[in-house]
């Protein structure tokens, strides 16, 4: 089992050293060399390799502080995890031996008290959590999982992710901590993994090795993995077309691509580097060359045009990874430090030994602290913050394609809203998804709904509830619906506010047309009755009922019918005032006339008895003065009403859905009820007078008709009050018009109906002879009795 991706580190080391050795301006007349060692499985074995390298002795003959081969080492490159660098650093710290770590940056290794000669080449990932969360927010993934190493770095990045996600309104579905040792007892690790489609993986190559192997073996092809490192394949025997990591997204530090490195890899082969024991294994595994275990040599039957750049990219990538770039920079940092030290000739105990310049490695520390590498990063820990990231998309379907395609970038230093840049059209998602995957705890609340989070649930796990009446939401996943203005109303879907239509009791609508027709027909009928009375003014029926008061009453009833027309149509300030004043005054005149007629009937029959006062009342026509007196009182009421709080135009936006009803507000409710109460008082007074004369002879007595008409009038307006207050909008106006027409019709019908019946249909009864004969017959009946 080999991890050939790590072999790129060796190639990057060789590439940098050869480039420096060929540069006449850097370390002239000095050639750099290297040794490399595998990282073992235990800390003891790791430190043992470090001792072997320092002393040049085999394991059984290690002599600390002594190097019998007199090899002169400049610096050590360690990685890829912080644990490896920390373990070796505890040993190198004793000798102040320069150590350059090419693994991910770790705050612990920047402790100068503990690791004074350790220099980290990796860039700080201070904005990595912000970049990943920004990507999650961009694709509206609100329910994501986290897989982190179970160490201080995992705890630190977990805190960063929690803070960023909480700030951006994203929730963590689960947190899985990667154990230090991957054994069968961690099968529970995979539970609840299907709760989300998007999972963030953070760690270094060593801490994620077991996880990556498990994910690859399980063929989890329905997950979008967001990672900070490229997955490393540790087994070349792969017979699957599918790949768990196809469609994954990787955040890598932005580096300038070096095409020279790609060209260098094309030239690497076992014959060029015969001392390399790994190249023959690569050629044997991938190019089917014969391989000899003795000396790790290839037989001569191997093709000469084989090259590493034809290998699948998931096996060996020809473009530099983050770690390879750090190795490249580390070699140059050591070379520049040596160059500066040689120029300044700062050497402790210089002497010649076989023509070689001798120096002590600890001398290099002062130069490494000040030297700047090509990425403008200072090695004493003062690294630039908020580095830029490239976002790569893995294309590995079919497996072996192994392409890493740059689909965007993230820069925390960019202006707000421009930090994340993506080209979504070229992104390939895992095989299970034909479009951008969804990863939410709850389905989005569409237009017309708002989110409601039950108590105890995460903010991303919510229910959708419809907006309240007259409220809308035209966006998804809103916390609160927006109330429509008073002039608008919410449509049925509750996603738009529509303009309300202005509504009033118009002539064009059926109700307004019907009421206006009734009013006009009634007023025409009243005019017809006036014509009948004028034409038959000399007949007993007209003369006997005080034709003057009858004319006044009929004319007033005509105005009563016509005043209802002021309630129909678009209201304005003038009509609002006119409709109430004409209503109050016209009905006052009508009721005062009825009262005068009732009093006249009583006086007429009482006049047959001796009494000067009764005769004076008949001669002076005193009852007729009731009309102006009563009318004057009502005019005073109306004047006070108009002066204090007159009617005005008002709007009713609630009675009818989608309509704004324009109507005349009464202004002072007390004044309106006083006017109406005064009318009822007159009706009650007239009814009382008519009721008192009910026993009088009925030849010329209209008391029964007066009392019945006033009783109907009184009932109409008493019934009007509760119905009026229980209706809204134009129906309230229609109710008032109906009451005006009904009460006016009652007065017209019950008072003048019987008279018109006699005049038109029984003209024989409208003669003085018929009336005289009828009176004689009644007298005879009374005498017999």
- The pLDDT value recorded for residue 386 is 54
* Digit-coded pLDDT (tens) for 29-80: 888 988 888 777 677 777 787 877 777 666 556 666 666 666 667 889 988 8
- The pLDDT value recorded for residue 695 is 61
- The pLDDT value recorded for residue 133 is 94
Better-scored residue on pLDDT, 57 or 142: 142
- The pLDDT value recorded for residue 382 is 44
- The pLDDT value recorded for residue 676 is 83
* Digit-coded pLDDT (tens) for 627-657: 888 889 888 988 888 888 888 888 877 777 7
Q: Is 620 helix (H, G, I), strand (E, B) or coil?
A: helix
For 730, phi then psi, to 5°, come to: -70, -20
* Digit-coded pLDDT (tens) for 410-426: 998 888 888 999 999 99
Domains of the chain from N-terminus onward: 4-124+299-368 (3.40.50.2300), 128-256+388-426 (3.40.50.2300), 449-499 (no CATH), 510-649+671-784 (1.20.1070.10)
d(CA 712, CA 690): 13
pLDDT tier for residue 236 given thresholds of 50, 70 and 90: very low
- Please give the structure tokens belonging to residue 298: 């290839």
One-letter-per-residue 3-state SS of 532-572: HHHHCCCCHHHHHCCHHHHHHHHHHHHHHHHHHHHHCCCCC
**pLDDT of 537 above 90:** no
- The pLDDT value recorded for residue 296 is 63
Q: Please, which contacts does 462-471 make with residues 24 or more away whose CB atoms are closer than 8 Å? A: 466/494, 467/494
**pLDDT of 607 above 80:** no
Q: Other C-beta atoms within 10 Å of 494: how many?
A: 22
pLDDT tier for residue 275 given thresholds of 50, 70 and 90: confident
**Comparing C-alpha atoms, which of 213, 78, 83 is closest to residue 151?**
83
Please give the average per-residue pLDDT across 698-723, as a whole number.
74
- pLDDT, averaged across the chain: 80
**Strand stretches in 355-487, DSSP E:** 356-357, 389-395, 403-410, 420-422, 449-452, 463-466, 471-472, 482-483
Please give the average per-residue pLDDT across 397-418, as a whole number.
84
Of 124-133, 303-312, 447-456, 742-751, the range with the lowest mean pLDDT is 303-312
**pLDDT of 221 above 50:** yes
d(CA 459, CA 457): 6
* For the chain, percent of residues with pLDDT exceeding 90: 14
- The pLDDT value recorded for residue 578 is 87
């Amino acid at each position: 089992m080999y991890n050939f991706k790590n072999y790129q580190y060796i190639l990057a080391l060789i590439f940098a050293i050869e480039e420096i050795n060929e540069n006449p301006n850097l370390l002239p007349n000095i050639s750099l060399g290297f040794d490399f060692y595998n990282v073992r499985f235990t800390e003891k074995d790791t430190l043992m390799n470090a001792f072997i390298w320092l002393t040049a002795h085999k394991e059984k003959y290690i002599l600390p502080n002594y190097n019998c081969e007199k090899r002169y080492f400049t610096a050590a490159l360690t990685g890829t995890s912080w644990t490896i660098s920390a373990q070796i650093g505890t040993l190198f710290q004793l000798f102040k031996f320069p150590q350059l770590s090419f693994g991910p940056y770790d705050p612990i290794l920047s402790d100068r008290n503990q690791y004074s000669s350790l220099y980290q080449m990796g860039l700080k990932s201070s904005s990595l959590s912000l970049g990943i969360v920004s990507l999650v927010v961009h694709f509206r993934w609100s329910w994501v999982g986290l897989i982190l190493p179970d160490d201080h770095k995992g705890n630190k990045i977990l805190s960063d992710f929690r803070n960023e996600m909480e700030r951006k309104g994203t929730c963590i579905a689960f947190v899985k901590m990667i154990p230090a040792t991957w054994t069968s007892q961690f099968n529970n690790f995979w539970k609840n993994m299907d709760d989300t489609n998007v999972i963030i993986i953070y760690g270094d190559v060593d801490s994620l090795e077991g996880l990556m192997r498990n994910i690859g073996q399980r063929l989890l092809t329905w997950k979008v993995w967001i990672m900070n490192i490229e997955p490393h394949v540790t087994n070349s025997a792969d017979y699957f077309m599918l790949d768990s990591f196809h469609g994954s997204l990787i955040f890598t530090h932005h580096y300038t691509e070096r095409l020279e490195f790609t060209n260098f890899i094309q030239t690497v082969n076992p014959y060029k580097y015969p001392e390399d024991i790994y190249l023959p294994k690569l050629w044997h595994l991938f190019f089917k060359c014969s391989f000899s275990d003795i000396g790790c040599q290839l037989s001569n039957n191997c093709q000469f045009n084989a090259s590493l750049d034809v290998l699948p990219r998931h096996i060996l990538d020809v473009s530099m990874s983050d770690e390879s770039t750090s190795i490249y920079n580390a070699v140059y940092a050591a070379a520049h430090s040596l160059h500066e030290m040689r120029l300044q000739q700062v050497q402790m105990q210089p002497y010649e030994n076989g023509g070689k310049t001798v120096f002590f490695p600890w001398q290099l520390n002062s130069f490494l602290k000040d030297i700047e590498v090509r990425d403008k990063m200072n090695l004493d820990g003062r690294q630039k913050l908020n580095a830029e990231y490239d976002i790569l998309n893995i294309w590995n379907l079919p497996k072996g394609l192994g392409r890493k395609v740059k689909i965007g970038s993230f820069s925390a230093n960019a202006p707000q809203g421009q930090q994340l840049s993506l080209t979504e059209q070229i992104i390939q998602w895992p095989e299970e998804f034909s479009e951008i995957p969804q990863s939410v705890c709850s389905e989005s609340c569409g237009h017309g709904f708002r989110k409601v989070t039950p108590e105890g649930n995460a903010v991303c796990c919510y229910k959708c509830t419809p907006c309240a009446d007259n409220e809308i939401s035209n966006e998804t996943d809103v916390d609160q619906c927006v109330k429509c203005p008073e002039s608008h109303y919410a449509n049925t879907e509750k996603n738009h506010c529509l303009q309300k239509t202005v509504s009033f009791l118009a002539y064009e609508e059926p109700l307004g047309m019907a009421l206006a027709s009734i009013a006009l027909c009634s007023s025409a009928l009243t005019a017809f009755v006036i014509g009948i009375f004028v034409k038959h003014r000399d007949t007993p029926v007209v003369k006997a009922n005080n034709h003057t008061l009858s004319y006044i009453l009929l004319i007033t009833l005509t105005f009563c019918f016509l005043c209802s027309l002021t309630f129909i149509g678009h209201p304005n300030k003038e009509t609002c005032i006119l409709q109430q004043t004409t209503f109050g005054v016209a009905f006052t005149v009508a009721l005062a006339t009825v009262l005068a007629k009732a009093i006249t009937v009583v006086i007429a029959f009482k006049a047959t008895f001796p009494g000067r006062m009764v005769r004076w009342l008949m001669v002076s026509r005193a009852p007729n003065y009731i009309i102006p007196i009563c009318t004057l009182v009502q005019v005073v009421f109306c004047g006070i009403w108009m002066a204090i709080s007159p009617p005005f135009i008002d709007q009713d936006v609630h009675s009818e859905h989608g309509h704004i009803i324009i109507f005349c507000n009464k202004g002072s409710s007390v004044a309106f009820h006083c006017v109406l109460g005064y009318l009822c008082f007159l009706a009650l007074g007239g009814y009382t007078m008519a009721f008192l004369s009910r026993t009088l002879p009925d030849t010329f007595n209209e008391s029964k008709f007066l009392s019945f008409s006033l009783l109907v009038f009184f009932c109409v307006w008493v019934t009007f009050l509760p119905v009026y207050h229980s209706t809204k909008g134009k129906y309230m106006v229609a109710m008032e018009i109906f009451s005006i027409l009904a009460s006016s019709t009652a007065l017209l019908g019950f008072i003048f109906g019987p008279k018109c019946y006699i005049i038109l249909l029984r003209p024989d009864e409208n003669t003085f002879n018929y009336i005289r004969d009828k009176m004689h017959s009644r007298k005879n009946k009374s005498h017999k009795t």
